[in-house]
């Protein structure tokens, strides 16, 4: 990352406004880019764009490579000749400020089926050649992913490690039989992936034309019930039946007194190292094809991760186990065409020890500061602005935090008092106070969740770590976005020399 002073907005595409029950990569996404440009923002930060999993979480996906087909825009498909107007889903009923994942899944499944029939009959323009190119470029992950999705549906959603042994263990003859048997279902999945990446590329190009770069998000771990683990079992700590021996989590921290038991399988780092980290090179390379920069979630796990017995009921009894260290990042820098160090942000939050800081510095990665964390201890708190660094990204809060208004309303009085005195504020517009502090920071990049720009309270929170359900549902409405304080936001950027 360069040292140009820029700012951006954190908003996941599922939270975009529109009639489809979920945000889409069509007119709504382009309108949001227009908003970013008008407000002087040069970064759009996203959560993982992968298919959502348990609890509708984008951090619990059946693939680290695939895109979320629920984000496909039916309107754009109609304009391109892959959908008739009568085949477009009706507008979703219900609260437009809440994502309806179940409705979107049914509607977008039908949309892809319609698009497949049109595509087979007469692909519009040069789309047939573009599809062939996509299939070739994505072959290393797409074939396994499409078969995985089709098999999982055939098995009523059962996890891959509960399938019959020959499928669980990927016997070649069995795999071939199932590929033939589920050919139609597999082709629908493949086309859905093509349409997702086709539409996302158009949105990203639109953003680039307006001076906006994207920041993606790459979780350190992948989901046990995923195409990734099914296809690469030797890279994970699994028993002969494909079940985890140990799982990932974090010890007790700011978010949870019992820690967080994530349940993801842990890596056999010696196997990754023996291949020159080939799977990681492909994974990070794919993420940097999707976004201009990538936030690497739970960076501390690359130094050491919290390993918990697979049968544990909470994360208290875990232990720290070493990660791959600098060797992984050196491999990425060698293997990726433009290297990695200039395009990765280290999410260095949580229990950060000197070895984690040293790894981040040795890898040349910017870390993070979160202003909501700055006021719960004394003057040495690293999140206070006087401790920020140029090579850093400062946030008012992240997707795991409450909105700034919600945080301040719920904070203990000593925290509220310190924040008021430090910010020289009465707290009446605490969201603007924290945004002002973020923009004034020496950190080269400042990111603000859209909820803070709009001054929304805790009902607009995106995620509550440790809770399995009820997250990831907040959406901005078209009316809220139209009334957003664009000029005031631009003025804040201009005052702090972030208006490029």
Provide the annotated active-site residues: 297, 347, 400
Q: In what order do the strands lie in the sheet with 319-322?
A: 260-265, 246-250, 304-309, 319-322
Residue 164 CA to residue 288 CA, distance in Å, equals 36
Interhelix angle for 326-335 vs 278-290, to 10°?
60
Residue 339 CA to residue 346 CA, distance in Å, equals 15
Residue 445 CA to residue 43 CA, distance in Å, equals 9
- Bridge pairing between strands 319-322 and 304-309: antiparallel
Dihedral-angle region of residue 214 (phi above 0 means left; psi in -120 to 50 means alpha; beta otherwise): beta
Which helix (H) or strand (E) segment holds residue 295: the answer is: strand 293-296
Q: Which of 411, 410, 414, 435 is nearest to 423 (CA)?
A: 435
Alpha carbon 48 to chain centroid, angstroms: 2
Q: Give the DSSP letter of residue 469.
A: S
Q: Give the DSSP letter of residue 301.
A: G
Residue 40 CA to residue 487 CA, distance in Å, equals 9
- Where are any strands of DSSP class E within 317-389? 319-322, 344-346, 367-370
254: tokens are: 């700011």
Task: Kindly give, in sequence order, each residue whose CB lies less than 8 Å from that of residue 489, ignoring residues fewer than 6 positions away.
Answer: 39, 40, 41, 453
* Number of residues that make up the chain: 500
378: tokens are: 């004394």
363: tokens are: 């890898």
Alpha helix (H) residue ranges in 101-248: 101-121, 127-137, 139-154, 165-168, 172-181, 183-209, 227-231
Task: Compute the radius of gyration of the chain from its Cα atoms.
Answer: 23
Nearest 5°: CA angle at 219, between 215 and 225? 135
Residue 128 CA to residue 139 CA, distance in Å, equals 16
Neighbours of 451 (CB within 10 A): 31
């Amino acid at each position: 990352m360069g040292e140009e002073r820029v700012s951006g907005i954190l908003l996941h595409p599922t939270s975009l406004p529109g009639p489809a029950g979920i945000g889409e990569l069509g007119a709504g996404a382009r309108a949001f880019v227009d908003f970013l440009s008008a407000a002087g923002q040069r970064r759009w930060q996203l959560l993982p764009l992968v298919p959502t999993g348990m609890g509708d979480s984008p951090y619990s996906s059946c693939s680290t490579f695939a895109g979320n087909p629920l984000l496909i825009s039916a309107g754009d498909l109609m304009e391109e000749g892959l959908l008739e107007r009568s085949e477009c889903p009706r507008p979703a009923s219900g609260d437009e400020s809440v994502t309806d994942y179940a409705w979107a899944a049914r509607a977008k499944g039908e949309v892809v089926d319609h698009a497949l029939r049109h595509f087979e009959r007469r692909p519009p323009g040069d789309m047939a050649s573009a599809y062939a190119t996509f299939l070739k470029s994505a072959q290393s992950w797409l074939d396994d992913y499409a078969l995985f999705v089709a098999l999982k549906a055939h098995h009523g959603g059962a996890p891959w490690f509960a399938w019959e042994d020959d499928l669980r263990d990927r016997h070649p003859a069995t795999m071939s039989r199932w590929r033939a048997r589920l050919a139609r279902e597999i082709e629908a999945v493949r086309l859905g992936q093509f349409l997702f990446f086709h539409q996302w590329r158009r949105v990203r190009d639109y953003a680039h034309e307006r001076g906006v770069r994207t920041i993606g998000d790459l979780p350190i771990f992948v989901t046990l019930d995923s195409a990734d683990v099914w296809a690469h079992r030797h890279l994970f700590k699994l028993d002969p039946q494909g079940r985890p021996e140990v799982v990932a989590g974090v010890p007790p921290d700011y978010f949870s007194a019992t820690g967080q038991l994530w349940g993801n399988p842990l890596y056999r780092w010696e196997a990754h190292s023996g291949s020159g980290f080939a799977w990681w090179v492909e994974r990070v390379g794919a993420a940097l094809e999707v976004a201009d920069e990538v936030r690497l979630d739970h960076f501390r796990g690359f130094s050491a991760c919290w390993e918990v017995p697979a049968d544990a009921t909470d994360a208290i009894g875990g232990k720290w186990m070493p990660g791959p260290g600098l060797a992984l990042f050196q491999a990425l820098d060698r293997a990726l065409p433009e290297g990695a160090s200039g395009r990765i942000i280290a999410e260095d939050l949580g229990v950060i020890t000197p070895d984690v800081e040293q790894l981040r510095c040795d890898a040349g990665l910017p870390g993070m500061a979160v202003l909501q964390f700055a006021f719960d201890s004394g003057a040495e708190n690293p999140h206070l602005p006087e401790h920020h660094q140029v090579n850093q990204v400062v946030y008012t809060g992240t997707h795991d935090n409450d909105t700034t208004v919600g945080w301040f309303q719920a904070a203990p009085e000593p925290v509220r008092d310190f924040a008021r005195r430090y910010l020289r504020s009465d707290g009446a517009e605490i969201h603007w106070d924290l945004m002002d502090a973020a923009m004034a920071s020496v950190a080269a990049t400042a990111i603000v969740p859209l909820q803070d720009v709009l001054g929304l309270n805790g009902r607009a929170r995106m995620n509550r770590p440790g809770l399995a359900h009820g997250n990831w549902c907040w959406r901005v409405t078209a009316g809220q976005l139209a009334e957003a304080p664009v000029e005031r936001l631009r003025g804040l950027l201009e005052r702090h020399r972030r208006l490029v």
